Amino acid sequence: MSTTGFVTVPVALGERSYEIRIGSGLMTGVGADAKALGARAATVVTDAHVGPLYLDSVRASLEAAGLAASDIVLPPGESTKSFRHLEEVSNALLAAKIERGDLVIALGGGVIGDLAGFAAAILRRGVRAIQIPTSLLAQVDSSVGGKTGINTKAGKNLIGAFHQPSLVLADTDVLDTLSPREFRAGYAEVVKYGLIDDLSFFSWLEKNWTEVFAGGEARTKAIATSCTSKASIVARDEFETGDRALLNLGHTFAHALEAAVAYDGTRLVHGEAVAIGLALAFEFSARLGLTSEDDADRVRDHLKAVGLPTRIQDIPGEVGDAAHLLDLMGQDKKVSGGRLTFILARGIGRSFIASDIPPQNVLGFLSEKLA
């Protein structure tokens, strides 16, 4: 792999500003980037799926740039986002003598990005991090915006911190090794950006999705447009006191469905849950008279066309009844005062935060969907 030019998306956050670079071969240049940031040492945090593919070249790049490189390889999977592995990573960073001026490098998907980012946030009250996301989902969502954290028995991501990375390297070469299922799942988050506030991007995806799946310029454009959209929302609401919640479009339904299958990734991966959640958010918006049935159909048709699930019934096995799903939404951290917060839409590209949805409306809607 070699770096052949890249697209840069700035994330404008004052003194916490940074760049997202998107392009081929970027991870092999991470040593020069780490050196340019003034680091002497870097610890790469990765997992046993990604490590064998890319760890050697990342370490070689760091060492060639004169940095003291070390690594920690964790088990793959959501259960790695735990206190136990946070302790393990923290101890590895201390053993490697990572100081404030040094770097934690998150090499992996969302699990590694969130865990390593959180370890960086709390080590010595905050050291810098570079995110090298290796899934489409992590490239367009979790590596950008500084949300880091771990899961506990009480729920996902309930312990964490906002800690912006110093640089995101979205190396598009890594996407060629993803399974079709994993790539499709990440694509649901790409579609989300069109649905939030960019009808022309959604229309472009409808026409060009096969090229996005094939790779090349269309794929880079889709990632860059997604990152630009996320960067703009994060820049106006870094700590989610308002607009940033728009990024949760489809996610209240999605989190309940993931909980209903006990986060069993063989039945449902996060991006698939988001695809169903997006379809449901538009159908629910249509049911409430906010958007047209045509828009809801158009959203579902596109997600279906790329092979994503769009109905609760598309999930293999039982997920429980409407009351159970509603109860799982009640566990979600977006609930306030018995009312539910949903991101709903007045049309494609016209999403908004609705913080006053009576649970019985949701119950009725889910009962129909499950019938």
28 and 1 in contact (C-beta within 8 Å)?
yes
Q: Nearest residue to ligand GLY, using CB?
A: 247
Active-site residue flag, 157: no
Q: Which residues pair with 339 in a beta bridge?
A: 336
251 is catalytic: yes
Binding site for ligand GLY (CB under 6 A): 141, 145, 147, 244, 247
Specify whether 302 is catalytic: no
Catalytic site residue 153?
no
Helices (H) and strands (E) in the chain, counts: 13, 11
> Taking the chain, what is the end-to-end CA distance rounded to the nearest angstrom?
51
Measured from the CB atom, is 274 or 362 closer to ligand GLY?
Answer: 274
The question of whether 49 is a catalytic residue gets the answer: no
Catalytic member of 251, 300, 302, 369: 251
CA distances from 84 to 91, 152, 154 (A): 11, 11, 16
> In the bound complex, what is the minimum distance in angstroms from residue 247's beta carbon to ligand GLY?
4
Q: Given the complex with ligand GLY, which of 156 and 219 has the nearer CB atom?
A: 156
Residue among 59, 147, 156, 300 flagged as catalytic: 147
**What distance in Å separates the CA atoms of residue 34 and residue 26, rounded to the nearest whole number?**
12
Q: Of these residues, 78, 240, 311, 334, which one is catalytic?
A: 240
The strand pairing partners of 342, in sequence order, are 354
Q: How far is the CB of 146 from ligand GLY (least distance, A)?
A: 8
Of 24 and 164, which has the nearer Cβ to ligand GLY? 164
Catalytic-role residue among 248, 272, 300, 302? 248
240 labelled catalytic: yes
Rounded least distance, CB 161 to ligand GLY, Å: 13
Element (H, E) at 263: none
Residue 242 CB, shortest distance to ligand GLY, in Å, is 12
* CB-side neighbour CA atoms (13 Å) of 2: 1
> Do the Cβ atoms of 34 and 105 come closer than 8 Å?
yes
d(CA 96, CA 108): 20
State yes or no: is 63 an active-site residue. no
CA dihedral angle for residue 190, residue 195, residue 199, residue 200, rounded to 10 degrees = 0
CB of 145 to ligand GLY, least distance (A): 4
Closer CB to ligand GLY, residue 156 or residue 244?
Answer: 244
Q: Is 182 a catalytic residue?
A: no
DSSP label at 177?
A: G
Pick the closer one to ligand GLY by CB: 92 or 130: 130
Catalytic residue set = 125, 147, 189, 230, 240, 244, 248, 251, 255, 270
